[in-house]
Amino acid sequence: MEIREEINLLQADLNESAESLQRRKNMQEGLSMKLSRAKERLSAAEAEINRLTIEMEQKRHKAQTLEDMEKQMEGFAHSVKAVLTQSARGGLKGIRGPVSKLMRVPARYTVAIEVALGGALQNIVTETEEQAKYAIQYLKRENQGRATFLPMTNIKGETVSGKQFEGYRGFVGVASDLIEYDAQYRGIFGNLLGRILICEDLDSAAALAGATGYRWRVVTLDGQMVNAGGSLTGGSLGKGTGILSREAEINALREEVAGLTGRLNEKRAALASERKEVESAENALRENERMTAGLSQEKMKIEMALSQQKKALEDSQNALSELESGLVEMDRKILSADSELAEYDRLMVQTEALLAEKTAESQRLATGRSEFFTRRDALITRLNETKIRLLACQKDMENIQSLLAGAEADRADKLGRISGLEAEIKALEEANREDDLKIAQTGKAVDELSSRADEAEQSIQDELARRSELEAESTKLREREKEINNQTQLLSTELARLEERAAAAQAEYDTLVAKLWDEYNLTRQEAAAEAAEVEDFRKAGKELNRIREEIKKLGSVNVSAADEYKEVFERYTNLKRQIEDIERSRTELRKMITDLNETMKEMFLKTYEEINGHFKVIFSELFGGGHAELKLDDPQNILESGINISAHPPGKRVNSLESLSGGEQALLAIAIYFAILKVRPSPFCLLDEIEAALDEVNIRRFTAYLRRMTGSTQFIIISHRRGTMESADLLYGVTMQQKGVSKLLELKIHEVEEKIGIVAG
C-alpha cells in the first residue's frame, strides 16, 4: 500500500510537472514570437536610419557644393569677381560688395526680388564716387571687363508708400520693404527697389498696373513682370540658376539637413530602445529555456522514480505469487503425506527461521538500496545541474559569437558601402572637374564671342542712331517741300487775282520794258527776237509772275549742294556697308555658338551611348543576368540633363537603387566604372577596397572581368578579400613584427605556383 501511495504521489507530481513544462513551452513560443517581432522592428529601424543617413549626406553634399559655388562667386560676371578679389587683397578701398550680398531676402520673395533687380544684383556698392572711379580705372587698366558701381554718396533713392496700394487685390508690398538690409544702404535699395511693386500673380499685377496708369513696374512672386508703360515680360525661369535662388536653396538644404539630423537622432534613440527590447526578450527567452530545462530534468527524475517504484511493486507482487504457490504446494504435500507432518513441521520451523533471517536480510538490503538510490539521485541531480549550467554557458557563448559575427558582417558591409560610395564620389568628382574645365573653356569662348557681339551690337546701335538722324533731316526737308507747295497754291490764287488786272497793266508797258532791261539786260527787240511766239499773253504773264515768285522764294543758289549730297550719300553708303558687315559678323558668331553647342551635344551623346552600351553588357556579366541602362532626364536638353541609373538584377524587381543591397550597389558602381574605362582606358588604375561589400561569387566575377581588362590597364588593388588576392599576379603586404617597425612583404604568385607545381590556367 505504501508503494502504491508513493506511486500515486509520484504520478501526481509527474502530471503537475508536465503541465508546468507545457506552460513553459507555450511561454517560450510567445517569447520567441515577441523576439521575432522585436527583431523585425529593429531591422526596420536600422533600414530607416540608413535611408535617412544617405539622404542627409546627399543634401549635405549638395549644400556644400552650392556653398563652394557661392564662395567661388559662380554666376557673377568676370569683372565683378576681379573687383571683389582685388578688394579682398587690399588693392581697392571702399568696396562694400555686390548688391546681392548686402541684403537678406525671405525665401517667399526670392524669385520676385531676383527678377526685379535683374542685372543690378551684380552692381557693386562703393563708399564714394572716387573709389568707384578708381575701380573702373582698374578694370580698364587690367582689361577685366565692365561693371556698374553704386557710390553711397551719390545714390539717393525714393521709396513709394505701399499704403496707397493696400486696397488692391493680390498686392504684397513694395519690393524695398520686403527685404532686410543695413540702414546705411537705404538709398541704394530705395533707388533699386523703392518704386517696384510686388503682387501675388500676373492677373493681380496687370490689374494693379492698369489701375495706376502703368506708372510703376509690378513683379509677381513667380517672376512675371508688368513693365512701366504696359509691356509684359514673363515665362519660365531656370531652376536654381539665380544668385539669390542659390542662397535660398542653401538655406533650405541646411534646414532639411537639420531636420533630417533631428529625425535621425530620434530614430537612433528608437533604435536603442528597440535593441533594449530585443535584449530583454532574448534574456527572458533564455531564462524561460533555463526554467524549461529544469522542469524537463525534474520530470525525468519523477519518471525515473515512478518507474523504480513500479518495478519494486512488480517485484513484490512476483514474490507474493511465488509464496502463495509454495503454500499451495505445501498444503498438497501435507494432505498427501501425514507421516511427513512432523518433518514438515520441523521444516516449517526451519523455514520460518530462514524466512525471518531472509526477511531481516531483505530489510537490510532494502535499507542499503534506499541509501544507494538516495545517493544516486543526488549525483544525478548534481550531474543534471552541471549539464544545465554547461548548456546555458554554451548558449551564451553561441549568442555572443552570433552577435560578434553579425557585428563583423555589418561592419564589413558598411565599410564596403563607404568604399563604393567613395570610389563613386571620386569618379564623379573627376568627371565634374573635366566637365568644369570644358565648361570653363566653352564659357570663356562664349564670353569672348558675347563681348565681340556686344561691341558689334553697340556699333550697330551707333550707326542706327546716325541713320535716324539722317531720316529726321530728310523728314524736315519733306516738310519744307510741303510748305513750299502750300505757298505755291497761295501764289496761284494771287496770280488769278492779277489776271483780272491785266487789262489795266497795259499802261505800265514802258515800265515793264525798262524792267526787262534792268532784270535781264535785254531790249524789247532782243527779247522779241529770242522769245517764242506767245499765243496767250494773259497766260504767259501769269506764268512769268509765277516763275518770278518761285525764284524769289528759292533765295540764293547753293552751288555746292551737289557736292554735299555726294558726300552725304557716300557716308550713308559706308555706314550701310558697316552695318551689313556687323550683322554678318553677328550671324557668324551666333552660328559659331550654335555649332559649338551641337559639337558638345554630339561628343556628349556619343560618349554617353558608348558608356551605356558597355554598361548594359558589363552589368549582365557581373550579375550573371538581368539588365541595366543609363537614362537621360531631359533628352531634348542634353547639356543640362541629369542621368538616372536603372538596374534590375536577375530574379529581382527593383523600384529604386536604395532597395538594392550594399553588395549589389557596390557591384553596380563597379559596372559603371568598368564601362567608363572601356570608353576611356587608363594606363594605370588604383582601386581601394572597391570589392569589400561583395560576396565570394561576385568576387570571382569581379576578378575574372578585371583580369580581362589588364590588357590595356594596369590595376593596383588594396584589398582584404581572399578571392581578390588569389587572382592577383603580385601581392604586397605590410606587417609589424616589432612594435613601431613595419616591414614590406612581397609574393609573386607565378613563382609560388612553379614551386608547388601548379600550372597556371
Q: DSSP letters along 613-637, please?
A: HHHHHHHHHHHTS-EEEEEES-TTS
- The model's confidence at residue 346, banded by pLDDT at 50, 70 and 90, is low
In this model, does residue 673 exceed pLDDT 70? yes
Predicted pLDDT of residue 760: 46
d(CA 452, CA 733): 61
d(CA 320, CA 277): 63
Query: CB–CB of 294/385 below 8 Å?
Result: no
Pairing between strand 714-718 and 684-688? parallel
Domain 76-241 has CATH 3.30.70.1620: yes
d(CA 667, CA 424): 11
Predicted pLDDT of residue 730: 87
Is the Cα torsion angle 470, 476, 479, 481 positive or negative in sign?
negative
Grid cell in block for residue 601: 551635344
Is the Cα torsion angle 294, 297, 303, 304 positive or negative in sign?
negative
User: Buried (b) or exposed (e) across 620-647, using 16+ Cβ within 10 A?
Assistant: bebbeebebebebeeeeeeeeeeeeeeb
More confident residue, 562 or 4: 562
Predicted pLDDT of residue 239: 52
Q: Which residues sit opposite 632 in a β-bridge?
A: 643
d(CA 648, CA 619): 9
> Mean of the per-residue pLDDT values for the chain?
76
Predicted pLDDT of residue 508: 61
Half-sphere exposure of 524 (CA within 13 A, CB side): 6
Alpha helices in 72-171 (DSSP H): 78-88, 110-117, 129-142
Predicted pLDDT of residue 568: 83
Q: Which residues sit opposite 628 in a β-bridge?
A: 647
- Kindly tell me the burial class for residue 698, based on how many C-beta atoms sit within 10 Å of its own C-beta (0-12, 13-18, 19 or more): buried
315: which residues sit within 8 A by CB, 6+ positions away?
Answer: none
Predicted pLDDT of residue 440: 65
Angle in degrees, CA 24, 28, 32, rounded to 5: 175
Query: CB–CB of 640/394 below 8 Å?
Result: no
| Chain centroid to CA 451 | 34
Query: CB–CB of 111/237 below 8 Å?
Result: yes
- Kindly tell me the burial class for residue 275, based on how many C-beta atoms sit within 10 Å of its own C-beta (0-12, 13-18, 19 or more): middle
Q: Find the range with the poorest average confidence among 2-6, 38-42, 525-529.
A: 2-6
d(CA 43, CA 277): 13
pLDDT single digits (tens) 273-331: 777 777 777 777 777 777 777 767 776 776 776 676 667 667 666 666 665 565 566 55
Grid cell in block for residue 568: 552725304
Q: Find the range with the poorest average confidence among 30-44, 657-671, 676-690.
A: 30-44
3-class secondary structure for 415-445? HHHHHHHHHHHHHHHHHHHHHHHHHHHHHHH
Predicted pLDDT of residue 198: 93
| Chain centroid to CA 16 | 67
Highest mean pLDDT among 15-19, 94-98, 454-458, 547-551: 94-98
Query: CB–CB of 88/73 below 8 Å?
Result: no
CB atoms within 10 A of CB 283: 11
More confident residue, 352 or 444: 444
Mean pLDDT, range 3-13, rounded to an integer: 67
Pairing between strand 225-226 and 217-220? antiparallel
Predicted pLDDT of residue 761: 44
- Give rounded-to-5 percent helix, strand, coil for the chain: 75, 10, 20
Angle in degrees, CA 750, 755, 757, rounded to 5: 90
Q: Is 226 helix (H, G, I), strand (E, B) or coil?
A: strand
CA dist 380 → 6, 17, 293, 377, 394 (Å)? 20, 18, 15, 5, 21
Half-sphere exposure of 580 (CA within 13 A, CB side): 6
Query: CB–CB of 295/24 below 8 Å?
Result: yes
Mean pLDDT, range 97-101, rounded to an integer: 86
444 phi and psi angles, rounded to 5 deg: -65, -45
More confident residue, 451 or 153: 153
Backbone conformation region of residue 715, classed left if phi is above 0, alpha if psi is from -120 to 50, else beta:
beta
Q: Is 231 helix (H, G, I), strand (E, B) or coil?
A: coil
Q: Which residues sit opposite 746 in a β-bridge?
A: 732
More confident residue, 398 or 576: 576
Q: What is the DSSP string of 447-504?
A: HHHHHHHHHHHHHHHHHHHHHHHHHHHHHHHHHHHHHHHHHHHHHHHHHHHHHTTTGG
Helix axes 78-88, 129-142, angle to 10 degrees: 110
Q: Find the range with the poorest average confidence among 91-100, 348-357, 536-545, 578-587.
A: 348-357
d(CA 668, CA 646): 10
In this model, does residue 227 exceed pLDDT 70? yes
More confident residue, 72 or 682: 682
Tell me, what DSSP letter sits at residue 238? -
684 phi and psi angles, rounded to 5 deg: -145, 140
Q: What percent of the chain has pLDDT over 70?
A: 66
d(CA 63, CA 675): 29
Grid cell in block for residue 145: 571687363
Q: Find the range with the poorest average confidence among 45-49, 75-79, 395-399, 663-667.
A: 395-399
pLDDT single digits (tens) 178-204: 888 888 888 888 888 888 999 989 898
371 phi and psi angles, rounded to 5 deg: -65, -40
- The model's confidence at residue 357, banded by pLDDT at 50, 70 and 90, is low
Q: Which residues sit opposite 225 in a β-bridge?
A: 219, 233
Taking the domains of the chain in order of start, what are their residue ranges?
A: 76-241, 465-574
Q: Find the range with the poorest average confidence among 261-265, 437-441, 442-446, 699-703.
A: 442-446
Sheet holding 124-126, edge to edge: 95-98, 124-126, 149-151
Grid cell in block for residue 458: 553697340
In this model, does residue 345 exceed pLDDT 70? no
CB atoms within 10 A of CB 151: 19
546 phi and psi angles, rounded to 5 deg: -65, -45
Predicted pLDDT of residue 219: 92
Mean pLDDT, range 711-719, rounded to an integer: 88
Q: What percent of the chain has pLDDT over 90?
A: 2
In this model, does residue 660 exceed pLDDT 70? yes
Grid cell in block for residue 533: 511766239
Tell me, what DSSP letter sits at residue 681? -
In this model, does residue 381 exceed pLDDT 90? no
Mean pLDDT, range 103-130, rounded to an integer: 86
Query: CB–CB of 687/716 below 8 Å?
Result: yes
Highest mean pLDDT among 74-78, 309-313, 505-509: 74-78
Is the Cα torsion angle 322, 325, 331, 333 positive or negative in sign?
negative
Q: What is the DSSP string of 690-746?
A: TTTT--HHHHHHHHHHHHHTTTT-EEEEE---HHHHHH-SEEEEEEEEETTEEEEEE
Closest listed residue to residue 56, CA positions, set 341, 266, 200, 274: 266
- In 18-148, beta strands by DSSP E: 95-98, 103-104, 124-126
Query: CB–CB of 170/226 below 8 Å?
Result: no
